[in-house]
Homo-oligomer: A and B are copies of this chain.
Amino acid sequence: MDSGLAGKSPRPGMTAEPMSDKSPFASPGTVADLEEGSALTPKFDADGLVTCVATDAASGDVLMVAHMNAEALARTIATGEAWYFSRSRHSLWKKGETSGHTQRVVEMRVDCDQDAVWIKVEQVAGACHTGRRSCFYRAVPLGKAGGMRLEFRDERVFDPKAIYPAGKS
């Protein structure tokens, strides 16, 4: 792994580069290979990303949904700490780099067509930039056509203003 990339500034246009030149992963094969093979050959989308679901290893709650490019996925596998790719900032991003709210990966799974990964993590403090443990802090009432008022379920576990630089949250 090219560890020299850590901490570099965001590289605009990174998603437009072909991933194959530097990806440590082989290209996806047939559907049968993807589904029943034992080779990790992630099916990155047109932007070079797979979806990642992070759940709390202790409670099972979904903490967040984010994306990984080949580098983020490779770093997560190699280090056991969650790395993502920010679509808005076009940059590789270590979870907790700013906040200290890192995610230690206890287990990683890949789905049938290898375009999504699931990581079970030990989350420091909270995963959500709003200060909650999980990004999914509001429930949608069911069975009420038109009655779509969200119900807040989770309290803040930290003060986002004290953690994130002004304007970043």
Binding site for B on A (CB under 8 A): 1, 24-25, 35-40, 51, 53, 55, 59-62, 64-65, 74, 77-80, 105, 107-112, 116-118, 128-130, 132, 135-146, 148-153
Nearest CB of B to A5, in Å: 14
Q: How far is the CA of A125 from the CA of B24 in the complex (A)?
A: 36
Pair A136/B148 contact, Cβ less than 8 Å: no
Q: Are A138 and B116 in touch, CB under 8 angstroms? A: no
Cα-based distance from A141 to B108 in the complex (angstroms):
7
Partner of A112, one of B112, B117, B128, B141: B128
How far does the alpha carbon of A68 sit from the alpha carbon of B130 in the complex, in Å?
25
Cβ–Cβ contact B145 & A62, under 8 A: no
CB distance from A155 to the nearest CB of B (A): 13
Across the interface, A77 reaches (CB within 8 A) one of B108, B110, B135, B140, namely: B140
